[in-house]
Amino acid sequence: MTTDLSVDPQILIYLEQIARNARLNKHQHFHAAERHHFHNNLFGSVAIVINVTLGSVLFGTISANLPEIAKWISGFMAMIAASCGGIQTFFNFQKSFEGHRRIANSYLEVQRECEKLIALFADNLIDVAQLSKEVELINKQYNTITNEAEVFPTGDKDFKKALSNEKSKREQKKNAF
């Protein structure tokens, strides 16, 4: 990505770093969104299945006398269903899923803008001064997204998956050439 200069300008190196960070953050938040979506579906499905089962048992109880064990099983299942509903409500997986997806898409937008600017600079369609002005705007956008992302934290596993994604994409690019 060098132009007629012998080394890349520092602003270009900085832009490439923003692009890399945005890509990593994007992957982290997409992984976190997938995890929250999975948990939402898991706990919601379990609660629904148990409640439907309990509804059937309750209908059976009304129409015939059930053994004592059926009453205990029904009570235990009701506790599990209530626990799943409580977990779902407390952790608010759906809101977390939506927030992580929104943040990830915002990072994706920054990543694409960085890549576009890098290409424009490499093709000599913008100079260092123009690049510097654009990087300033992108940096502000990146910082705003990072501040918004504070309420949607990611974990170490999300970061490790993001790094793994990054590594595999680099290897794919190497093998493509």
Q: What is the pLDDT of residues 38-53, one digit of tens each?
A: 999 999 999 888 888 8
Listed in sequence order, the DSSP H helices in 64-123 are 68-91, 93-122
- What is d(CA 171, CA 132) in angstroms, rounded to the nearest whole number? 30
Residue of 5 and 35 predicted with greater confidence: 35
Residue 13 above 50 pLDDT? yes
- Name the burial class of residue 14, with classes exposed (0-12), middle (13-18) and buried (19+) by CB atoms within 10 angstroms of its CB: middle
Q: For residue 32, what pLDDT is reported?
A: 96
In-domain check, residue 112: yes
pLDDT tens sequence across 99-129:
999 999 999 999 999 999 999 999 999 999 9
Domain of 116, in residue numbers: 10-165
Count how many domains the chain has: 1
Query: Average pLDDT for residues 153-164, to the nearest whole number?
Result: 93
In-domain check, residue 1: no
Residue carrying the six token digits 């190196």? 13
In-domain check, residue 5: no
Residue 66 is classified by DSSP as P
- Amino acid in position 142: Y
